[in-house]
Chains A and B, each alone.
Chain A
Amino acid sequence: MMDFSPVGAFRFWQRNLLIFRKTFPFTVPENFLEPVVYLLALGLGLGAYLREIQGLPYVAFVATGLAASAAMFGATFECTYNAYVQFYYDRSYDAIVTTPLSAEDVAVGEVLWGATRSVIYGTAFLLVVALFGVARSLWALALPGVFFLGGVVFSTVALAFTAVTPSIDLFPYYFSLWITPMFMFSGIFFPLDALPGWVQTAAWFTPLYHVVRATRALAFGTPVAAVPEVVWLAAVAVVLLPVPAVLLRRRLVQ
């Protein structure tokens, strides 16, 4: 039996926003530095040899891919470590489910907040790399929407893992077996065309692949190419959203 209220989810989202407003001077740069390091190392280092990929300057190719991954990391850190600490150590979730909010409200509010962080990190990164001539089309203005959709998917999967993991020590596996392979094989640093067919098929089933493709399509002004990617993300978001809600209810309501 599901017990969900959009107002409840919004209240929880607001709470997270308030906490974020107090902590972002510390957390944003830390989330930001990594993609910048990748961009400098690969975009400039490798880009010196590899001028163009798929008709794009290599640095622009990598920068758009990294914006998508920044969105992924923003949602993933929120819904793994941040959520876990509040859930298991601070026990804030236990307190919140005795207010009018339900476990489902908390789960959906947390997913929406993770998606919001995707928008913040993805967009902020994009603004910085705009200096590298990345955003060539006004369609780039639609990118926060793509980051949000992708963020819902990343958050849903991460929160479902957080709701069932028996220990904080298992999060490194979540990263090394799921996040890092996605990061390497979603066409951020190189197109997947040259890889075996099964790698491309596997990539199709992961969300980052679609966020990367949609990001490039909009940034470089080919919006029609973004449509199937957005449909994929929206469909998966809708199907997966109830999963962490059900799992979190099991943990919070005995």
Chain B
Amino acid sequence: MALVEAEELLKRFGSLVAVDRISFQVREGECYGFLGPNGAGKTTTMRMVCCTARPTAGSLRVFGLDVRRHGRAIKRQLGVVHQSVTLDDALTVRENLVVYGRYFDLSWAEARRRADELLAFAELEARADERVSKLSGGMQRRLMIARALMANPRLLVLDEPTTGLDPQARHAVWDRLRQLKRGGVTQILTTHYMEEAEHLCDRVAIVDHGRIVAEGPPRELVERYVGREVVELQVAADGAPAWAVAEQAAGLAEGFEVAGDRVFLHTRDGEELVHRVRALRLPVEAVVLRRATLEDVFLRLTGRRLRE
């Protein structure tokens, strides 16, 4: 069954179209990701799912309920991790959890018991009685995830859950999210990190300018639009422009893209391609073979890189 069902969903702010008639479904038990640059409409889509932005047109159902009419009932079964830190600074780590549980009508005793469980889950037991401003960014994010889980949500909504975190803290967050997915918690997340989408998501929607430009399991999208491998050519600063180099090499590859002073050649057999490119003696400084990623898909579909 689909927990979230959007059809021709549109959100306009004045003359700006933030979300442009998108349709998607999030199935029970999966992790569904929105991957796209800032300003693509990801956060607005999340806000509509959380019933804090009203759709301009189209339909959006969460748990089978219309977001326009059943906000309170939907929010009761939702766990939300916001993009910015939204913790109560005057309260301790544990109090943040307990108070949040009360919003969902948990009894004080139940909220305290659940808070203890989640403090263990987030590995914050030792910091339970400190004010949240004393925590590192990674710990605050883990606390926000723990807080979202207070009322055992059916759907966890995460808006850029690791933006601004260092790699170690990011991995700690990813571990928690994978653990939750194994436990059967359906997740919907936004990100502009392709590694994050590849690591966590069963399916991703690649979004740009408010539209979904491609959708599917990450590896499948990569296979479909790019292939298995990419040979990256760094064009020499004093040589021919990148597009000229690309024209010469294009015949060897299955597809190519140009971004700045680099050429990306798509292929199924990278090593063979590297040999043939070298044989051409093109004016390049470096030839690098790597696995194709969602970033290449994005570049292929939009002509731009995810993060410039």
Contacts and interface: CB of A to CB of B under 8 A. Distances in A.
Interface string B38-54: 00000010010011111
A15 B80 contact: no
Contacts of B99: 14-15, 18
Interface residues of B, number: 31
* A-side interface mostly: helix
Most buried by A among B80, B84, B90, B157: B90
Contacts of B82: 91, 94-95, 98
Contacts of B209: none
A3 interface: yes
B122 to A, nearest CB: 16
Interface string A213-245: 000000000000000000000000000000000
Interface string B172-199: 0000000000000000000000000000
Nearest to A19: B90
Contact of B75 (A11, A14, A91, A100): A100
A15 B157 CA distance: 24
Given A14-B102, A19-B91, A99-B104, A92 B75 contact: no
Interface string A177-216: 0000000000000000000000000000000000000000
B90 A100 contact: no
A167 interface: no
A4 B154 CA distance: 24
Contact of B86 (A95, A100, A101): A95
Interface in B111-161: 157
Contact of B88 (A3, A8, A92, A98): A92
A90 B89 CA distance: 7
A98 B91 contact: no
A90 B105 contact: no
B110 to A, nearest CB: 14
Interface string A68-111: 00000000000000000010001110111111111000000000
B152 to A, nearest CB: 14
Contacts of A86: 88
Contacts, number: 77
A96 B50 CA distance: 11
Interface string B70-100: 0110011010101011111111000100011
Category for how many chain A residues contact B: 20 to 34
A7 interface: yes
Given A252-B52, A253-B53, A99 B89 contact: no
Interface in A1-23: 3, 5, 7-8, 11, 14-15, 18-19, 22-23
B76 A100 contact: yes
Given A15-B102, A18-B99, A98 B90 contact: no
A208 B87 CA distance: 35
B103 A96 contact: yes
A91 B86 contact: yes
Given A7-B105, A100-B76, A22 B71 contact: no
A102 B50 CA distance: 12
Contacts of A102: 71-72
A254 interface: yes
Contacts of A11: 102-103, 105
B103 A99 contact: yes
A-B residue pairs, 6 tightest by C-beta: A95-B86, A99-B103, A254-B53, A98-B80, A91-B86, A98-B50
Given A15-B99, A97-B52, 19 more contacts: A7-B105, A11-B102, A14-B99, A14-B102, A18-B91, A86-B88, A90-B86, A90-B88, A91-B82, A91-B84, A95-B86, A98-B75, A98-B80, A98-B82, A100-B75, A100-B103, A102-B72, A253-B53, A254-B53
Interface of A: 3, 5, 7-8, 11, 14-15, 18-19, 22-23, 86, 90-92, 94-102, 252-254
Interface of B: 13, 44, 47, 50-54, 71-72, 75-76, 78, 80, 82, 84-91, 95, 99-100, 102-105, 157
9 contacts: A11-B105, A14-B99, A15-B99, A18-B91, A96-B103, A97-B52, A99-B104, A100-B75, A254-B54
